[in-house]
Amino acid sequence: MPNRDTQEWIRESLRTPGILIFGMVLSPCGLILDLTSTVAPNWRTLHNLPNSASGFAVLQGIWDICTTASSTSYDYNCGQQDTAYFNHQIIEVAQGLMVASLVVTLIGLAVAIPGVRCWRDNPNWTIAGVGGLLIFLSGVMTIIPIAWYTHILKDVASVPPSVTVQVGYCIILGYIGGIMEVLAGLVMFIGICRCCGGKNRGEIRVEEVVNQTNRPRPLPRRSEVPSLSRPRSEPSSVAYYRDYDDVSFPRAKSEALSLESRVNRKPYESDL
């Protein structure tokens, strides 16, 4: 016996649903941003350190620490050691969660791709939803350490009050990448259950399609078109107007002057 669910719903188009396209485009972008945030050594930047030259800065990440002589210089000296910094609790948590986020994102994409593939008539919504759930969790695992690190930015390996502490670009990239993955996974997971009358899946009830097919079509409305034919005018007394009798206004007939009227009429200046 065929499944009742397949009898009640039908897809309006064979194209991949928009929610799956949104998730499959946004999640790899978030993965790239999270990867950059994980490996780049710029979670925070320290300026105005004691006994250092003007412009000297220290760039601290979760895996490496680099120094530069000027904030505008690209000459970095990496591999610096700071035991107090790397032994802090947030660094260990951030290392574990950021790596786990990358791994879970890859697993989520690998699970979602078979459910989203376009060469099938209907996507496998269960598999795509599970992949979206994994991508959503990976975004959460990215946001947690970044938000925690930002909250205690100045308390990580306490620095002197005279030192200026700035947020690095890795924090910004991590926030953006984590939010992208959260949105992508959430939107894909919405397709696991049908809602909004099937609009989230791009589906419509079969009975609605049948009703639309059987509904009588209204008769076309008749419209009166004005005729462009014109009444033919009476023939003119002038010989060269004989072939051009289709005019839009009548012409006055000229009465022929008799011989007596021509002789007895008074001369006018135009006759001189």
Q: Is 56 part of a structural domain of the chain?
A: yes
Cα–Cα dist 40/63, whole Å: 8
191-216: average pLDDT: 56
The CATH number linked to 172 is 1.20.140.150
Phi-psi region of 186 (alpha: psi -120 to 50; beta: other; left: phi over 0): alpha
| Band (124; pLDDT cuts 50, 70, 90) | confident
Q: Are 76 and 59 in contact (CB under 8 A)?
A: yes
Structural domain including 116 reads 17-210
Neighbour tally for 257: CB within 10 Å:
9
Q: Is 252 part of a structural domain of the chain?
A: no
Mean pLDDT of the chain: 76
Sort 165 into a burial class: Cβ within 10 Å, 0-12 / 13-18 / 19+.
Answer: middle
Q: Which residue has the tokens 């390996």?
A: 157
Q: Is 133 part of a structural domain of the chain?
A: yes
pLDDT at 176 over 90: yes
Q: What is the pLDDT of residues 39-84, one digit of tens each?
A: 998 899 888 888 777 778 888 889 988 888 876 667 788 888 888 8
pLDDT at 7 over 80: no
| Strand boundaries in 64-202, DSSP class E | 65-68, 76-78, 164-167
Q: Is 29 part of a structural domain of the chain?
A: yes
Total domain count, the chain: 1
What integer pLDDT is reported at residue 253 of this predicted model?
A: 54
Rounded to whole angstroms, what are the CA distances from 45 to 11, 178, 253?
53, 22, 104
Phi/psi of residue 245, each to 5°? -90, -5
Cα–Cα dist 136/180, whole Å: 9
Q: Copy the structure tokens of residue 93.
A: 């948590």
Q: Is 257 part of a structural domain of the chain?
A: no
All residues at 6 or more sequence positions from 41 whose CB lies less than 8 Å from its CB, including other chains = 59, 60, 61, 63, 64, 65, 66, 78, 170
pLDDT at 244 over 60: no
Q: Is 158 part of a structural domain of the chain?
A: yes
Q: Is 54 part of a structural domain of the chain?
A: yes
Q: What is the pTM of this model?
A: 0.66
Q: Is 156 part of a structural domain of the chain?
A: yes
